[in-house]
Amino acid sequence: MSRRILGIETEYGLIFSPRGKVYLPTEKIFGYIFDGLIPNSWPSNAFLANGARFYQDTGCHPEYATPECDCVEDVVAHDKAGERILESYLPLAERRLKEEGLYGDIYIYKNNTDSMGNTYGCHENYLLRRDLDFWKVTEQLIPLLVTRQIYTGAGKVLKVGGKTQYFISQRAQHIHERSSSSTTSSRSIINTRDEPHADAEKYRRLHVIIGDSNMSEVATYLKMGTTALVLSMIEEGVSFKGLTLEDPVRAIRDVSRDTTLKRPVPLSDGKKWTAVEIQNTYLEKAKAFVDRSHNAKEQAIVARWEAVLNQLEEDPAMLSREIDWIAKRECLVGYMDRHRCGWDDPHVAMIDLQYHDVNQKRGLYALLCREGMVEKIVTEEAIQTAIMTPPQTTRAKVRGDFIQFAKSKNRPYTVDWTYLKLNGYWEETILCMDPFASVNARLDELITAATRSSASSS
């Protein structure tokens, strides 16, 4: 796979459950969490020492954007680091509440829907070459994105047409267009906003907003890995003809509704293929591609992809250790069997939500992890490292080094994806337009000069 900048933006659900009569607005709760994460910082938008961005998104959702990564394993580790960071500030926020005489529990969920039917997103970012025909790229990519939910879906208990049933994807019911510049009023498979956060003459950004938020590391790995690999294949001239869907938006819903994975969706040429068959077509071309490239990371992605697709064809239930919608369904079906109830039982909806609780003491996915019932991609040590340390091979390292430097000198600073600025006296702005560059000569000069100054003064 050609080297590519990757990242995930995750919007989290936030709920305050009061123990008493006083109910606080979500904005107030968010303020407690944010103040614990970045004390005395407002507005609620800040970059962290690990290169990531934490901020308040539309609808008062906490949003965590991973730093720039150039390999899928780093994306997985930094995505998990976001969960841990938010979880770590829950006790502090609840303690602040008690100090003001307010009592209750704060819940943060890594999912995509609330009880009112609203949705919030998990957005993927892939850096693309500017010289590519963006529309041709997206047309070849859309069938992959529509059908990959069979291994990336987070699962959802949902009532549609008066009937409560289990769906593969949480986002599927909220997608209305193939492409759009909006992420709220007209949610699409691919967002067309052209914000590369890099040299715009060389790059543009592919912003995918169809995906579910995943607890499973395997699902995140496959979601990012297969998409990045197919993008590399398209860049190298590989064509995916004959996969165009007749109606991609309808197909998203049809695939999500079919947990048997057996019902075909219509293609534009009149044929009908199942989601697994469409995925296998991409897979076969990917196998030929990586056979030529001899790239170990590409080969690992393809091997995992093939194993999962084979198991989905044979018996999806066997993937309960790897795929979110299957793992969650097994838990829900087990509960319903034990209590002799159906999908309409309110406890089933509660368990559905509990699967996504980032609090490791009460989250259902966390419980499965403790019981050794899920498969991991990265080690806990890698996740803990990612909480404080940016990827060492991208621009995120420069950003992290700058933040550490500014804090060590007690200097106010401003940071964005493409620049670093020391504020106040001796003001300095450093542009960082190359997301692949893990060093910056001007920052190195500043750090060296500050080190010499400290040494001479001592």
As a whole number of angstroms, the distance between CA 372 and CA 328 comes to 15
Under 8 Å between Cβ of 82 and 10? yes
242 shares its domain with 324: yes
Query: Is residue 48 one of the residues assigned to a domain?
Result: yes
322 shares its domain with 431: no
* Domain end (from 363, 385, 407): 385
Residue 28: pLDDT band (50, 70, 90) is confident
313 shares its domain with 442: no
Query: Is residue 306 one of the residues assigned to a domain?
Result: yes
Q: SS3 string of 328-365? A: HHHHHHHHHHHHCCCCCCHHHHHHHHHCCECCCCCCHH
pLDDT at 115 over 50: yes
Residue 43: pLDDT band (50, 70, 90) is very low
* Domain end (from 361, 385, 409): 385
Domains: count for the chain: 2
Q: What is the pLDDT of residue 456?
A: 64
366 shares its domain with 420: no
As a whole number of angstroms, the distance between CA 287 and CA 293 comes to 10
349 shares its domain with 411: no
For residue 418, give both structure tokens: 């493409």
As a whole number of angstroms, the distance between CA 275 and CA 309 comes to 10
For residue 157, give both structure tokens: 């208990």
Structural domain containing residue 399: 392-457
What is the CATH classification number for the domain harbouring 272?
A: 3.30.590
97 shares its domain with 193: yes
319 shares its domain with 371: yes
Selected catalytic residue, list 35, 57, 79, 258: 57
160 shares its domain with 43: yes
165 shares its domain with 221: yes
Query: Is residue 263 one of the residues assigned to a domain?
Result: yes
Q: What is the pLDDT of residue 319?
A: 98
The pLDDT tens digits of the residues spanning 270-303 come to 999 999 999 999 999 999 999 998 899 999 999 9
The pLDDT tens digits of the residues spanning 163-207 come to 999 999 999 998 888 776 655 556 788 888 889 999 999 999 999
Under 8 Å between Cβ of 48 and 406? no
pLDDT at 116 over 80: no
252 CB-side CA count, 13 A? 25
Is 291 among the catalytic positions?
A: no
Query: Is residue 280 one of the residues assigned to a domain?
Result: yes
205 shares its domain with 272: yes
401 shares its domain with 436: yes
pTM higher than the cut 0.85:
yes
Q: What is the pLDDT of residue 391?
A: 98
358 shares its domain with 448: no
As a whole number of angstroms, the distance between CA 128 and CA 140 comes to 14
Under 8 Å between Cβ of 32 and 96? yes
Query: Is residue 1 one of the residues assigned to a domain?
Result: no
Query: Is residue 445 one of the residues assigned to a domain?
Result: yes
* Domain end (from 343, 359, 385): 385
pLDDT at 131 over 70: yes
Query: Is residue 360 one of the residues assigned to a domain?
Result: yes
Helix (H) or strand (E) holding 219: helix 217-235
Pairing of strands 203-208, 122-129: antiparallel
